[in-house]
Amino acid sequence: MSATKELVKVMKLEDLKPLIGKEVQVRDETIALFRLSSGEVRAVGNRCPHKNGPLAEGIVSGEYVFCPLHDWKISLATGDVQKPDDGCIATYETAVIDGYVYVGGRKHHAKHDPNR
């Protein structure tokens, strides 16, 4: 992995198969990467807030991942868990540059803000 400004190069885009999660280490965090059917790349914390299920092993549908342990539906855009369940996970900035996937810092999200 190499850093470009605040982004960290993690893998070739061609190695991230559509709709199949991939666990990566970025800095000291374990992140689940997903390539959506639209081609967009999403990065989220790899652990479900319910029972720490490995989200990289979950099933992707649209902009959501379903936790492989108890089927919680989690937005890959916002990190929010769909009701009636409750919780959220971290989401991260992503970029695809010259055929490589980069992951940046956490996105700001009101639900993740301890000062709200």
For 2-35, the pLDDT digits (tens) are 444 589 999 999 999 999 999 999 989 999 999 9
- At position 104, the amino acid (one-letter code) is G
Question: Over pLDDT 90: what percentage of the chain?
Answer: 83
DSSP 7-27: EEEEEEGGGS-BT--EEEEET
Dist CA 56 CA 60 (whole Å): 9
Name the phi and psi angles at 2, rounded to 5. Answer: -130, 155
| 115 pLDDT higher than 70 | no
Which is higher by pLDDT, 47 or 108? Answer: 47
Helix (H, G, I), strand (E, B) or coil at 47: strand
What is the signed CA dihedral for 49, 50, 52, 55, rounded to 10 degrees? -70
Name the phi and psi angles at 111, rounded to 5. Answer: -65, -25
